[in-house]
Amino acid sequence: MFHPFHLAEQMNDEYSTVAALLHDVVEDTDYTFDDLQKMGFPNEVLDALKLLTHEDTVPYMDYVAMIKPNSIAKAVKLADLGHNSDITRLDTVDEWAMKRQQKYLDAIKFLEE
């Protein structure tokens, strides 16, 4: 529940802050991009959110590569990856957690290049 707030605290402007707060909404709720547009969110935020919403049919690193050129999406994703790769948040660190962490660290490295 606090994950979006943690990301938003790391953002430097209004659009990236809003995108951080909403970054999982379309993936995790019944809200759609049309709903968010009708609520009045600006296109800059909606464009970033579309990039941040990972479609199951898109390979993970292809998804990350699409994010890279958009400064809002990139800032939010870097914060998201940093938070999600922090294994100190886990009760159990198993092989799955280590593989997940490595995937996220690889994505961070790619986005920061």
- Tens of pLDDT, residue by residue over 39-67, are 999 999 999 999 999 999 999 999 999 99
pTM above 0.85, yes or no: yes
Residue in the structure block whose two tokens are 């991009």: 33
Structure tokens at 56: 């199951």
Domain count, the chain: 1
pLDDT, position 45? 98
Q: Is 30 in the active site? A: no
Active-site pick, 28, 34, 55, 95 = 28
Q: How far is C-alpha 21 from the chain's CA centre? A: 10
Over the stretch 78-112, which tens digit does the pLDDT of each residue have?
Answer: 999 999 888 878 788 889 889 989 999 999 999 99
Task: Indicate if 55 belongs to the active site.
Answer: no
Model pLDDT, residue 42 = 98
The CATH number of whichever domain residue 75 belongs to comes to: 1.10.3210.10
Q: H or E stretch including 38?
A: helix 33-38
Those residues whose C-beta lies under 8 Å from the C-beta of residue 7, and which sit 6 or more positions away, are: 20, 21, 23, 76, 79, 80, 83
- Please identify which of the residues 13, 14, 27, 62 carries the catalytic annotation: 27
The pLDDT, as a whole number, for residue 24 is 95
What's the pLDDT score for residue 13?
98
Task: Give the pLDDT score at 79.
Answer: 98
Phi, psi of 63, rounded to the nearest 5 degrees = -60, -45
